[in-house]
Each structure stands twice: as C-alpha cells, then as structure tokens.
Amino acid sequence: MDGERVYAYYPGCSLHATAKEYDLSARAVCSALGVELREVPDWNCCGASSAHARDHLLGVALAARNLALVEEMGMREVAVPCAACYNRLAVAGRELQDDGSLAAEVREMLGRPLEGSAKARALLDVVVRDVGAERIRDAVKRPLEGLKVACYYGCLLVRPPRALGTEERVEDPQSLDELVRALGGEPVEWPHKTECCGAGLSLARTDVVRTLSANILKMARDCGAGCVVCACPLCMTNLDMRQAESLKAAGEDFSMPVLYFTELMGLAMGLPGAGRWLKMHFVDASAVTCREGAAARQEEPC
Amino acid sequence: MARVGVFVCWCGSNIARTVDVQRVAEAARRIPGVVFSTDYKYMCSEPGQTMVRDAIREHRLDRVVVASCSPRLHEPTFQRCIAEAGLNPYLVEMANIREHCSWVHQDREAATEKAIDLVRMAVAKARRDFPLFRNEIPITKRALVIGGGVAGIQAALDIADAGYPVTLVERTPSIGGRMAQYDKTFPTLDCAACILTPKMVDCASHPNITILTYAEVEEVSGFVGNFTVRIRRRARGVDMEKCTGCGVCYSKCPVKVPNEFEEGMGERRAIYVPFPQAVPNVPVIDRQHCRLNNGLKCGVCQKLCPTGAIAYDQEDEVITGQFGAIVVATGFKMWDHSQIGEYGYGGIPDVISGLQFERLMNASGPTEGKIVRPSDHRPPKTVVFVACVGSRSENHGHEYCSKVCCMYTAKHALLLKEKYPDTQAYVFYMDIRANGKGYEEFVRRTIEEYGAHYIRGRVSRIYRHGDRVVVKGADTLLGRPVEIDADLVVLATAMEPQDDAKELARRLGISTDQHNWFSEAHPKLKPVEVLSSGIYLAGACQYPKDIPDTVAQASGAASKVAGLFSKPHLLSEPMIASVREEDCVACGQCVRVCPFSAIELVDVNGKNGASRRAARVNEGLCHGCGTCVAGCRGSCIDLRGFTNAQVLSEIDALALA
C-alpha cells in the first residue's frame, strides 16, 4: 500500500440521520482502502436546502465556516459524500476565491481566519481519482459479475462545471461507471445519468418529485439495469423512500433497488456489515446481493 | 512662416451637440501660425469643400487643418479638395474631434477644451508638414483566387471574362466546394449541382483560367500589384495528362474509407474522385490509406489503368507565381456537434447534421435520395429539426447567427414533406430569420402548405430510448415542456471558419475577428476589401453567407480586381519610412522589427569613396507602420508625414499649452 491518504471528512446532516448507511459504508470502504477520514469537529450545516435559496451571504458563510474548520485542522482537502453538501462547499469556495470583498465580509461574519486553502472534494471523486480503479479492483473479493448497474449522478455532482472545475463530461459523467467496472459490474448505457430527481421540490411539490423520480426509475429498468447506484442522500430519498408511491402514481408495478456507491463497493469488497447497511433501505436491496451476483459469488448467504 | 487655415466641422449634431464648435474655431484663430478659421455644418459636403478651397485662395493658406472625423473616413476627401486648390495633398491635417472626442464624451465644457487641444496639436504638426509625392508602381495583371467553391468559381469567371488571367487554387481534389454537396437550394428549389456544374465546366474550359486542385498556398510575399505566391500542388499519384477519367481505377481499388464528400455516410476508395461531376475529373490517390503506400501488396489501379496514368512516385510540385491581386474565398466548415453533451456528444447515430441530411436527400448521395435512418436504414416517420445548434450561443463560442440555417431547415422540412407526406416534421427554432428575396414566403409555405410543425423554443436534451430518439424541449409560446419521440433528428449546426483560417490570414498578412472570420476593411463601405490593398474577400470565409450573397460578393471582389488591373500602374503611398543613410550604423534593428520585411541592409558609398553598409527601405513593401522608427537606436529613420519632429511638436503643443 503506497502510504495512507488522509482527508478531512464532512458528513453533513443527512449522513447522521436518513443516510446513516451512507456514512457507515463510506467509513468502512475508505478504511479498507487505506483512506483515513477525519471528521471535521463542530461542523455545521453546509448551506444547502433553505439557506442558500433564501440568503446568498448566509449560504456562502455556512459553507465557509466548514472550510475554515478544515483549515484549522491543518488539512487541505475535505471529502464530502453528500452531493448537495459537496456542491455548496465547492461553489462557495470558488465564490470566495473569485470575490475578495465577499471573502472579507464572510471572514468578518465568521470571526476566524479563512485563507481559502481548503478544497471540497466529492467522496466519489476521491475514491475514483485518488485511490484509483486499479487499487479498487485489487480490493474486490466478490466481483459484481452480471450485475447491470444504472449509474445515477444526479444534478449536483458535476454542475455547474465551471464553478466545480470538474473533469467529467457534464451530460455524460463517467466516474461512477468506471467504479462499477472496477467492481466487476456492468454499467448500463442510459440517458438519465444527470436527470433531475426533483429534490428541490422534495417537500413542496411531491407530485413533481414522483413524476421525475418515476421517469428515472423507468428509464433504468428500460435500459436493463438491475439496480441504481447513486452518490447523494437526496437522490436516495426520492428514488428509494418515494419509489413505491412514485411508481404507483405512474401506473408501474416493479421495484428497483437503489444503493450508495459505497454500499456497492462494500458488497464487492466483501466488507462485514454490508448486509446491515442495505437493511436501512425502503426498497429491498438485498435482491442485488442475492439474485444478480449469487452465481458469481459462489452461493454465499447474504 | 506657414499660413494655416482651420476648418471646424459640426458633423450635423454629431460633433456640435457635445463640442462648442464656434468656440473651437475662435480659439484656433489665436494659435500661432493660424491665419484663418471657421466652422461649418458639414465640412465634407460640396459647399464645405468649396469653402476650404476659397479660403486657401483668399487667405493664401499653405497648410490646412480640418477638425472633423477620423482621417480613415475623410482624409482622402480633403486631400483631393486642397489639391484642387493647388496645394500638395499632404499638407492637410485632420484633427479627429468626433470619434476621439464628441462621441466618447458627455461633458460639453471638457469636450470643447479637448477639441481645442486636438486642433492645437494638428496645427503644430501641420506647420511642419512638407509636400510628399507618389511614385508609379507596375501591376502584374494576373489574379490568384484561393478556394474553389462557388465564391472562388464566380470570382475567377468574372475576372477571366474581364480579360485577365486567373489562377484558381483549391485544396481538395475538385472545385465545387460546399455547394456541390447540397441537394436543392432555397427558396427556388433549383438543384444545386444543376446550377453549379455548368460554372465548374466553364472554369475548366475558360482560356483565362488555370485551375490548380489538390493545391495549397504556402507563402505570400510582396504587395498590391506585385504579390509573389508559393503554391504547393500535392502529388495526385495520377498523371493528369494521361488520365481519361474512365474510372476503372477506383471501381477496383480494394480499400474503403469513409467518404468526406458524403459527410462520412458513404464510402470511397483510396483512389477516388470526390463526386461524379468533379472538375478536373481526374482521381487522386489518398496516400494515407493506399495499401501500396502502407507497405502492403496491391498495385491494382496501376495494373488496370488503360492509359498508364497511375504514378505512385509522383512528388509534390511547388509553383511560384506572380500575381497582382488575390481573392480569398476559402469558405467555412460546419461545427462538430459532438461537443454538445445535451445532444449526446455526437454518439447517437440517428442524430445527424444538416449537411448529412443534405447528402441523404441528394439523388447522387449515399442512399440515392432515399431518406433513411443511419442506424437501421429504415425510413423515419417522425423527424425533428433543431435550429441554432451552436449558433447564437456564448456557451459554444459562437455568439453570432449562422444566417443560413433557418432557411435550409425550412427547405429540409419542405422537401421531406414533399417526398414523404406522411412523415411528421417538427422544427424547433429561436426566431425565424428569413430575410432574403422570397425567403419569408418560402418558410410560410413550409408551414402552411406542407404542414411542418414549428415549435418556438430550445431543445434541452436529446437521448436514445430503445430504437427511438427522444427530443425534450420547451414550447415557449405555450409555456410548456415538449417531448417528441423521433426517428431522426437533424441539427442545424453553426458555421465556423476553416480550421486553418488564422494560419492563412497570417500568410496573407490580413486580419481576422475574434472567431477567425477574415476581417473586411470597413463593415459597411468596404465589405469586399481587407486592410491590405490588393487582397479581396468573397463568400463565407468572412462571415456566414448564403449562395446569393456569396455570389454577389464574389462578383464584387472580381470587379475590384478588374478595376485595379484596368489601371496602367499604381501610385505608391508616400507616407513611408526613409533612412538618413549618412547617420545609419547598419545595426540591423530595423530589419529585425519590420513586420513587412521591407528593410534590408545594402552597400552604400561611405566617406572617402569606401563602401559601407546602411539600411534601405523598399518603397513598395513599406506600409508606413513606423515600427522601425521606434526601433532605430540612432533616430536616423523617419516616417514621411509623421516625422519625429512633427510628433514631438504635437506633444509640445499639448503639454506646453
């Protein structure tokens, strides 16, 4: 192993609540890959959801405080599993860099130094780019042979490209696909990688959310996927928790397991506890471990 | 002592609104050397010019300052004006109180003060003006036309018809250009080939036209009337004298490669003519793909050629020619839509470009005119046309309108409905720009008679779903999202300059705009000329144009060339650099900095009859830019009409006022 990688870790509110399994699986997978995550002490809201929509300055300042805490830890990069948190921290970081007077105002509000040296990284990006497909492949014990996966990036991982400075093809990102291939699975070609799941209207207009989420799930099925893998707790909520009502409203009768990419990694890497994470989902995801990959994994009990 | 007259122009209200012109005229009267000053509403008008001429006679003026607009606009006017009154035309100075003053300021008081300063500077310079004279330069009466599309063809024919020899250089194996690829032309639906091929044949048979295909311009030097151009004619691999165009060679060639002329939708051989009506009808060997050239066994074409015309070992030929004028007609290219992620990064086979659709419709195209989907060769039932793909889009680097897409999209929809009335045609558009003769009527016909569905709005996403292509967009008139299950999607992609436009511009010494379109000398009044004289533009190398505009501009360029050639000789520009040889130490700095290679070191007679080196300016090549003047360490180069003494006196007039 070529030296341990250390990152600050910003779980965000979801990973301490609705997306507990994302947090558990992220920590387990990183630890297995020799990536040390140090949780940012006393972190606060990233500014997503209401804050940045109501008050731009507040949105930036909330994100900036977290970045300042990362600086205080003496760290340069903070790994962020939630796509919405990542987006807020990365976009705010860029805004602070580009706008000196905004940075000064925020520093004043925070009452702490803020150099701008800390950079937000999506956990997915850390895993795929920094750890790399090769080391992941080496860590796989139970390749996901025969598992067709719809890689769902959602809207926030790669947009807006200029602010995030992403290397991905914005309308057809590849990092999750690359990861699934490294795990031995087969990413399906599908057009809805970055379609909106409706998270912005999650509470206000559930009818819109249902339609949008159903569209994504139907497209995944039509393109032959056995499961959807995502990297965002909000996507997960809409695609997993609301799945039954969404599909019912759309007149459909099927179910589609939805997993965090870290869970899929945990399964492929044979990490203990992977079964427990999946139990926290609404749609039965154990089907992924039993049905699709069973033959390849020598009939191991799940 | 010079006797200077100052003439202050109102330019209607252009100057007078912001500058108190009467005060400027009064102030001018108090400047040393000024013996007369006045103001007038339009100094460039005939009464204005008469006023100048009368004042010269009445007040025995020997220098004139006109305070009006930019010298680029009216300096020649006033040079002619004072020449008629018997003064050397280079004794007039323009004080630019419009572009440099009234148009860019609001504060009347400050603008008036500035105008007075500008006049004071011009007077100071005028007092040091001295008469300049022009020399005669001979003209080589042969034109070079670069690019063999419809623009180049038209320009060549018009120049040749005026009685002057023309060399037409084309990069591809045949003349014809983009227009040869089109099916029918809007709005008359004339078949493009039917109206173009007679012109191509005329070019080939015209005694005044020499066609060089598969050839490129490598180097250009010289100046108006006397350009020296090096042209590389790439090895064709076929002897043009011996070839009869029978076609046996390419019917038997075993190598198949995607056909550029069919926009990649058909195949051609490694030895090929791009299309049946090619001029010249002589194949070329594509050395990149020829088996023999890649070390494999072959030689089929050579064995079969009945006239022994195949010449594998033919080499590039470098031709150096003298030309008096150059017409640049290098055209455009279509933007590659694989850069649009929302439309599938070019990876959806049934999403094609307008030019590909053009080939699909063409009876001599890859499908013999049958419109079928590239993926499964089934005729489409629903076709979606998307206008403004990459055009009018800052995101994609083209803020401009590509101008022809609205019309050819309407044409595509109309022809589709005409051939297959049961097919649904949808057109997504931003605005319909149908501003040509018969254009608006054509679009209305497409919509009303042929029933194409026009939807005002942008397409946000195109993706494959099963064997169909889903087009998602907005209908901004209904304020609703739209989703269409299509079989085929045709993108009207943006027009772009050729990839090497910038490089050609560098070779020609002409300028380009921010998109690399060639820049005209004046957007309104010199649309055919460029800033370097003797070089003219024709067609879409300047900006997107349709065929009528292209042909009109080509004829315009040709008439400029004919006008130039009809003169017995040219007159040189007198405002050029001159070296005081006795002071020159031949350091060579001016030679190095001259952007026009107009200075060389020559042997001159030194003291006591000994020979020594000194810089000398070639008067034909010098553009009078002044770079050498700034570079000269010994201050022994001066620009006539802009001497160091004159420029310093202007600065003094401003600083010491």
* Residue B412 pLDDT: 98
Kindly report the number of other CB atoms within 10 A of residue B557's CB atom. Answer: 31
- Among A210, A217, A199, CA closest to A242: A210
Interface probe, candidates A167, A169, A171, A222, chain B, greatest B C-beta count within 10 A: A171
3-state secondary structure of B383: strand
- A contacts of B465 (beta carbons < 8 Å): 191, 219, 222
Distance CA B443, CA B413 (A): 10
What is the pLDDT of chain B when averaged over all its residues? 95
Distance CA B449, CA B427 (A): 15
The one-character DSSP state at B607 is: G
* Residue A84 pLDDT: 94
Distance CA B11, CA B94 (A): 14
* Residue A300 pLDDT: 46
pLDDT tens by residue, A110-137? 999 999 999 999 999 999 999 999 999 9
Q: Are strands B599-605 and B611-617 parallel, antiparallel or unpaired?
A: antiparallel
Would you call B341 and A191 a contact, using CB atoms and an 8 Å cutoff?
no
Distance CA B617, CA B620 (A): 9
The residue whose two tokens read 């705009």 is B513
Chain B residue closest in CA terms to A169: B341
Distance CA B564, CA B227 (A): 14
- A contacts of B338 (beta carbons < 8 Å): none
Name the helix (H) or strand (E) containing B479. none
Q: Integer distance in angstroms from the first to the last C-alpha of chain A?
A: 30
pLDDT tens by residue, A248-282? 999 999 999 999 999 999 999 999 988 899 999 99
Whole-structure pTM value: 0.83
The answer to whether B481 faces chain A, any CB pair under 8 Å, is no
Token output for B461: 């996403």
Residue B492 has pLDDT above 80, yes or no: yes
pLDDT band at B391 (very low <50, low <70, confident <90, very high): very high
Distance CA B171, CA B619 (A): 34
Which residues contact residue A275 at a Cβ distance below 8 angstroms, ignoring those fewer than 6 apart?
A: A286, A289, A302
Q: Are strands B271-272 and B284-285 parallel, antiparallel or unpaired?
A: antiparallel
Percent of chain B with pLDDT over 70: 100
B622 touches B596 (CB < 8 A): yes
Would you call A222 and B465 a contact, using CB atoms and an 8 Å cutoff?
yes
The answer to whether B342 faces chain A, any CB pair under 8 Å, is yes
Interface probe, candidates A153, A167, A172, chain B, greatest B C-beta count within 10 A: A172
* Rounded alpha-carbon distances, angstroms, from residue A108 to A45, A61, A62, A88, A90: 19, 10, 13, 20, 20
Which segment, A165-169, B120-124, B607-611, is predicted with the most confidence on average?
A: B120-124
Q: Are strands B267-269 and B256-258 parallel, antiparallel or unpaired?
A: antiparallel
Would you call A219 and B465 a contact, using CB atoms and an 8 Å cutoff?
yes
Token output for A164: 């995030």
B118 touches B100 (CB < 8 A): yes
- A contacts of B463 (beta carbons < 8 Å): 191-192
Amino acid identity of residue B394, one-letter, is: E
Residue B146 has pLDDT above 50, yes or no: yes
The one-character DSSP state at A240 is: I
Phi-psi region of B522 (alpha: psi -120 to 50; beta: other; left: phi over 0): beta
* Residue B3 pLDDT: 96
The residue whose two tokens read 């003439």 is B7
The answer to whether B470 faces chain A, any CB pair under 8 Å, is yes
Would you call B345 and A219 a contact, using CB atoms and an 8 Å cutoff?
no
B102 touches B18 (CB < 8 A): yes
Would you call A171 and B466 a contact, using CB atoms and an 8 Å cutoff?
no
* Residue A290 pLDDT: 55
What is the pLDDT of chain A when averaged over all its residues? 91
Distance CA B370, CA B364 (A): 10
Distance CA B383, CA B421 (A): 12
3-state secondary structure of A209: helix
Kindly report the number of other CB atoms within 10 A of residue B516's CB atom. Answer: 18
The one-character DSSP state at B517 is: P
Residue B572 has pLDDT above 90, yes or no: no
- Among B597, B600, B589, CA closest to B632: B589
B331 touches B274 (CB < 8 A): no
pLDDT tens by residue, A190-233? 999 999 999 888 888 999 999 999 999 999 999 999 999 999 99
Kindly report the number of other CB atoms within 10 A of residue B587's CB atom. Answer: 15
- Residues listed for chain A: 302
Cβ burial of A118 (10 Å; 0-12, 13-18, 19+) is: buried
Q: Residues B577, B583, B587, B589: is their CA dihedral positive or negative? A: negative
**CA angle, residues A117, A119, A124, in degrees to nearest 5:** 160
pLDDT band at A293 (very low <50, low <70, confident <90, very high): very low
Percent of chain B with pLDDT over 90: 93
A199 touches A216 (CB < 8 A): no
Token output for A146: 């025969």
Which residues contact residue B309 at a Cβ distance below 8 angstroms, ignoring those fewer than 6 apart?
A: B238, B239, B241, B242, B243, B244
Instruction: Please tell me the distance in Å from B463's CA to the nearest CA on chain A.
Output: 6
Kindly report the number of other CB atoms within 10 A of residue B647's CB atom. Answer: 18
- A contacts of B341 (beta carbons < 8 Å): 169-172
The answer to whether B483 faces chain A, any CB pair under 8 Å, is no
- Among B25, B18, B22, B24, CA closest to B115: B24
Cβ burial of B637 (10 Å; 0-12, 13-18, 19+) is: buried
pLDDT tens by residue, B342-360? 999 999 999 999 999 999 9
Quote the strand ranges of A136-215, DSSP E.
148-151, 186-187
3-state secondary structure of B543: coil
* Residue A3 pLDDT: 52
Would you call A172 and B342 a contact, using CB atoms and an 8 Å cutoff?
no
Distance CA B179, CA B172 (A): 14
* Residue A165 pLDDT: 81
The one-character DSSP state at A189 is: -
pLDDT tens by residue, A56-109? 999 999 999 999 999 999 999 999 999 999 999 999 999 999 999 999 999 999
Q: Which of B341, B465, B466 lies closest to A172 in CB terms? A: B341
* Residue A296 pLDDT: 44
pLDDT band at A291 (very low <50, low <70, confident <90, very high): very low
Distance CA B442, CA B543 (A): 23
Token output for B516: 């690399």
Distance CA B88, CA B549 (A): 41
Kindly report the number of other CB atoms within 10 A of residue A8's CB atom. Answer: 27
